[in-house]
Structure 1
Amino acid sequence: MTIRVLVADDQPIARAGIAAMLDAENDIDVVGQSADGEDAVRDARALSPDVVVTDIRMPRLDGISATRRILVDLPCAVVLITTFDDDEYLFDGIAAGASGFLLKDSGPDLLAAAVRSASRGDSLIDPAMTRALIEQTVAPTGVGQPHVPRPEQLALLNELSERERVVLEAVARGLSNVEIAAELWVSVPTVKSHISSVLAKTRTRTRVQAAVFAYECGFMTPGA
C-alpha cells in the first residue's frame, strides 16, 4: 500500500528536500506541500493524507498547534521535524498526539522509517531524546527513582488486564507491533487490538503517550 504524505515546512528548500527524499521511496507518495501550519491544516483536510510530516517552527501556526487541529479532524498520523534538539518540543509534540519526532539531519532512511512507522500506528522517536524526556519530566528526582503517580493514573492502570499490562510494558520499551507479536507469540492484528484497548483505557491517543503514561503512573521506572 502506498503511503500518502503531506509535507509542511516554511523554508522552500527544506520542504522540497524532504518531499524529494520521501518521493524517492517506492511505497511513499508525497501528495502535497504546505508553506506553514495554517496551510497544513487546510491541505490535510483537502488531501486526506495518511501521514503529515511537519516542521515545528513555522509562521502563522506552528507545527504542534497544527498537529492538534489536524488530529481532531482526521484519522491520520503526524511526524514532527525540527532543527532544535529541545526536550520541551518533544514533550509538547507527544501531548499534541504526534507519532514521531525527528531532527532535520536525521537522514532519508530514518525519515522514511518514521513515516512508515506512523502509518502503521507505531512511533519513531530518537531513543536519546526519549530517555531525556522521561528522565527530566517523569523522574525529576533522578534516574531509577520511582515517580509518584496521581490517583487517577492508578485508577486507569488498574483497568488494564494482565495481557494489556504486558503489552503496555512492551510499548514503553519501544517495541513495534511486529516485535510485540513475536515476543508474545500472537498475531499482529491481535497486538493492534490490545494496543487499541490500552490506549482507550489509559485515555491516551498514541503509543508514545501510552509509554509516557507507563512511566508517570509508576508502572515503569526510568533507568531500570
Structure 2
Amino acid sequence: MSAPIRVVVVDDHPLYREGVADALGDADDIDVVGTAADGQTGVAVVTDLRPDVVLMDLRMPGGGGVPATAAITARLPGTSVVVLTMSDDDSVFAALRAGARGYLLKESEGADIARAVRAAARSEAVFGPRIADRVLAFFASSRARAAAVPFPDLTDREREVLDLVAHGLPNAAIAARLFLSEKTVRNRVSDVLTKLHAASRAEAVALARDAGLGPTPA
C-alpha cells in the first residue's frame, strides 16, 4: 500500500480549518500533517513538513494566500497548492500565476476536496465547476483576441512596420514615420520576413494585404 498523501491546511478560520482537517482525516489515503492560520506561518509550516499538497485560503493575515503560494511553489516545486477560498472572482488568475495547481470554493463538499487533493498529488490541475467555467471562458476569449490580431507571432512594432510596408512605404519613409533609424527599420523588416517565412518583401506585402493590413480596398 502506498504512503498516504501528506496535506497541510492553511486557513485563518479555526472552525473551518479544523473541519477540513477532520474531514480529510477520515480518508485512509490522506494524512493531514499540519495546519496554519496565516500566510507567513503557512510558508514556514510547509517548508518544515514538506507535504504533498497544501490547501490554501486567500484572504488571510500575514500576507495572504497568493504570496504564500508563490513562496511555497518556488521553494518546493514538488508540493502542489490548491486554493480553497470564498473568493469567486478573478483571484483565480492571481493564484494560478503564483503557481497554484487548483482552485476550489469553500462551498465544496468534503468528498470533492478529497478528490482535489488526490488529483493535485498526481500533479493534475483541478478546479471547482464555477471556477472551471471562468477559466475556460478566459482562455476562449484570449484565443478569440489572438485570432483577431493578424500575425500574432509578430510584436506590435513589427506588425506596425509590416502595415507600412504593405502601404508601399520604403524603409526611409517608415523610419521617418516611426522616428526610427533606417538601420532599425531594415532589421525589423528582416525579422518580419523571417517570422512570416516570406522569401521577399513583395511576398510579405501580399501576405499582409491578405490579412487586412495595408491600404483599405476601394
Q: TM-score, normalised by structure 1?
A: 0.62
Could you tell me which amino acid in structure 2 is paired with residue 18 of structure 1?
A: V
Question: Hey, what does 1:16 align to over in structure 2?
Answer: 18
Matched, 1:6 2:8: yes
Question: Hey, what does 2:75 align to over in structure 1?
Answer: 73
**Please, which runs of 5 or more residues in structure 2 have no aligned partner?**
156-218
Matched, 1:117 2:119: yes
Contact 1:139 1:147 in 2 (8 A): no
Partners of 2:103 and 2:127 in 1: CA distance: 5
Partners of 2:107 and 2:23 in 1: CA distance: 12
Partners of 2:56 and 2:154 in 1: CA distance: 33
Q: CA deviation at 1:147?
A: 6.2
Distance 1:26 1:91, change over 3 A: same
Partners of 2:148 and 2:42 in 1: CA distance: 37
Distance 1:96 1:107, change over 3 A: same
Q: CA deviation at 1:6?
A: 0.4
Contact 2:41 2:62 in 1 (8 A): no
Contact 1:139 1:146 in 2 (8 A): no
Q: CA deviation at 1:31?
A: 0.3
Contact 1:9 1:54 in 2 (8 A): yes
Question: Hey, what does 2:48 align to over in structure 1?
Answer: 46
Contact 2:104 2:131 in 1 (8 A): no
Q: CA deviation at 1:138?
A: 5.3
Matched, 1:84 2:84: no
Q: Specify the structure having the higher radius of gyration (Cα).
A: 2
Deviations 1:74-130, CA, capped at 9 Å, x for gaps: 1200010111211x1111111111111001111111100110000001111024322
Could you tell me which amino acid in structure 2 is paired with residue 82 of structure 1?
A: T
Report the identity percentage. 38
Partners of 1:3 and 1:147 in 2: CA distance: 45
Q: CA deviation at 1:134?
A: 3.6
Q: CA deviation at 1:64?
A: 1.2
Contact 1:22 1:29 in 2 (8 A): yes
Distance 1:137 1:35, change over 3 A: same
Q: CA deviation at 1:140?
A: 6.3
Question: Hey, what does 2:130 align to over in structure 1?
Answer: 128
SS of the counterpart of 1:139? helix
Question: Hey, what does 1:175 align to over in structure 2?
Answer: none
Partners of 1:152 and 1:25 in 2: CA distance: 51
Partners of 2:79 and 2:148 in 1: CA distance: 32
Could you tell me which amino acid in structure 1 is paired with residue 84 of structure 2?
A: I
Partners of 1:106 and 1:16 in 2: CA distance: 15
Partners of 1:24 and 1:107 in 2: CA distance: 14
Q: TM-score, normalised by structure 2?
A: 0.63
Partners of 2:67 and 2:118 in 1: CA distance: 23
Partners of 1:5 and 1:44 in 2: CA distance: 9
Contact 1:4 1:51 in 2 (8 A): yes
Deviations 1:129-169, CA, capped at 9 Å, x for gaps: 22323424651697x9946585389xxxxxxxxxxxxxxxx
